[in-house]
Amino acid sequence: MDILLDATTAVFAPATAAFALAAIGLNFHFGLTGLLNMGHAGFMLLGMYGYAISTSRGAPIWLALIVAIAAATVFGLLLGWPTLKLRGDYLAIATISAAELVRYLGRSNSLQGLTGGSTGIRGSDFKFTFEELSPLPNENITILFWTNHGSLSSSWWLHIVAWSAVALFALLFWQLARSPWGRVLKGIREDEDAVRALGKNVYSYKMQALVLGGVIGAIGGVLWSLGASVQPDSMGRPTTFWLWTILLLGGAATVFGPVLGSMLFWMSLVVIKGLASTFIPSSVLSPVEIEPFSLVLVGITLMVLVVFRPQGVLGNKRELAFND
């Protein structure tokens, strides 16, 4: 029963929303345009840094958000400039390297004063502007089985804002995917030369998709940090790989795929950990081993999904994002 409760908590947690949002960004990249962005965590981290650093230096919340968005935009432009003219796997290697580069720089001692080095930025340094906006009472509130604070950290306020953002960007994806703009992106996913031959500036469209998806990832990063803290090592390669698992689990190129994928992903992690600690004796699987054990299952899930059900739960086999 506890597992069930924990699972439901995980489904609606702000972190789940943040990953759903980042996965929506990735969906613009991969689902619509076929771009292999393997450094999405880098966009998230830059968003977090942009938001947290500017807030801790006294910027109001709107300015901090703009800084986060601007950081992701510049990163996207810089990354796309050399790589979008090249074969897809170059983009994969360039993005994963650039994301790691951001993380290395962020955690390095030379930027300690700015980014807080490897310990990152504490929540109390940058969460207050968001928490002050909360219309909810400044106390714990219990709804059915769940108790959260009204305004602080993983609050009901953050729940509401995070899921509203997810809804908003899912709507944006839906609107753009069915627009002529989205049609050009889908065409590029299928065959960029054909689209070029039809008079569209493929490079510009790929850049737009890369930047837009990156910005959405950055906003996802900001939401994530509002429920936790800014920690560079939490945004390493595994985070990007989880996002891919989420996107492919739910279904690439679908509107609700990233949302469903994120919910399923976090719920399954909780359920696996819960079941493992309940039913497997600790002599066989000790508490510290449960985390890596469940992540082994995540890796295997990703492999099995890609091979046997690349369209995910919601996707359409005939409109698959993978090219032959």
Partner 1 sequence: MTEVFAEVAHEPGAAKQDPIVIADHVHRHFGGLTAVDVEHFEVQRNAITALIGPNGAGKSTFFNLLTGFDRPQRGEWQFNGHSLVGTSPAKIARAGKVRTFQLTKALNRMTVMENMRLGAAEQGGENFFKALVPGLWKAREQEITEKAHVLLHRFKLYEKKDDYAGSLSGGQRKLLEMARALMSDPEMIMLDEPMAGVNPALTESLLDHVVELKNEGKTILFVEHDMHMVRRISDWVVVMAEGRIIAEGPPQTVMANPAVQDAYLGAHHDSDLSEEDPS
Partner 2 sequence: MTKRIDRRVMLRALIVLVIAVAAFIALGASGSPAIASTTDTVVAHSAALSNEAPSALTQDTTTVHATADTESSGVGDNRYVQQFINGIVFGLLLALASVGLSLIYGTTGLSNFAHGEQVSLGALLTFFFASKQEVSLPFLPVEFSIGWPLLPSALAAIAISAGTGWLQDRYLWSPLRRRRVSIVQQMIVSIGLSLAMLNFIQWWFGAERKRLTTSIDTRLDLGLFSIGQTTIWSVLIALVCLGGVGYFLLKTRTGRATRAVSDNPALASASGIRVEKVVRLVWIMATGLAAVGGILLALYDNAAAFDVGARLLLLMFAAVTLGGLGQAFGALVGSLVIGVAVEMSTLWIGTDLKYAVALAILILVLLVRPQGILGRAERVG
- Residues of this chain that interact with partner 2 (CB under 8 A) are 36, 38, 82-83, 86-90, 92-94, 96-98, 100-101, 104-105, 107-113, 117-118, 233-234, 236-238, 241, 244-245, 248, 281, 283-285, 288-289, 291-293, 295-307, 310, 322-324
Q: Which amino acid is at 193?
A: D
77 binds, among partner 1, partner 2, none (CB under 5 to 8 A by kind): none
- Is 90 or 256 the residue whose CB approaches partner 2 more closely? 90
CB 215 within 8 A of CB 66: no
Residue 167 vs residues 61, 221, 256: alpha-carbon distances, Å:
21, 16, 10
What number of CA atoms fall less than 13 Å from residue 133's CA on the CB side? 12
Residue 30 DSSP label: I
200 binds, among partner 1, partner 2, none (CB under 5 to 8 A by kind): partner 1
- Is 55 or 231 the residue whose CB approaches partner 2 more closely? 231
- Is 214 or 274 the residue whose CB approaches partner 1 more closely? 214
Q: How far is the CB of 33 from partner 1 (least distance, A)?
A: 13
66 binds, among partner 1, partner 2, none (CB under 5 to 8 A by kind): none
- Is 252 or 259 the residue whose CB approaches partner 2 more closely? 252
Q: How far is the CB of 57 from partner 2 (least distance, A)?
A: 18
197 binds, among partner 1, partner 2, none (CB under 5 to 8 A by kind): partner 1
DSSP line for 77-126: HHHHHHHTTS-HHHHHHHHHHHHHHHHHHHHSGGGHHHH-GGG-B-HHHH
Binding site for partner 1 (CB under 8 A): 172, 175-176, 179-184, 186-187, 189-191, 193-202, 208, 212, 318-320
Q: Looking at the chain, how many residues does it have? A: 324
Q: Which residue in this structure is represented by tokens 């008079």?
A: 199
Distance separating alpha carbons of residues 64 and 47, to the nearest angstrom: 9
233 binds, among partner 2, partner 1, none (CB under 5 to 8 A by kind): partner 2
Q: How far is the CB of 200 from partner 1 (least distance, A)?
A: 6
Give the pair of three-digit tokens for residue 20.
């759903």
CB 76 within 8 A of CB 215: yes
195 binds, among partner 2, partner 1, none (CB under 5 to 8 A by kind): partner 1
Distance separating alpha carbons of residues 255 and 178, to the nearest angstrom: 11
Q: How far is the CB of 283 from partner 2 (least distance, A)?
A: 4
- Is 115 or 129 the residue whose CB approaches partner 2 more closely? 115
- Is 281 or 317 the residue whose CB approaches partner 1 more closely? 317
Q: How far is the CB of 111 from partner 2 (least distance, A)?
A: 6
- Is 135 or 281 the residue whose CB approaches partner 2 more closely? 281
User: SS3 of 197, please?
Assistant: helix
Residue 230 DSSP label: B
CB 150 within 8 A of CB 141: yes
Distance separating alpha carbons of residues 324 and 320, to the nearest angstrom: 10
Distance separating alpha carbons of residues 318 and 322, to the nearest angstrom: 10
175 binds, among partner 2, partner 1, none (CB under 5 to 8 A by kind): partner 1
- Is 8 or 301 the residue whose CB approaches partner 2 more closely? 301
96 binds, among partner 2, partner 1, none (CB under 5 to 8 A by kind): partner 2
Distance separating alpha carbons of residues 315 and 304, to the nearest angstrom: 16
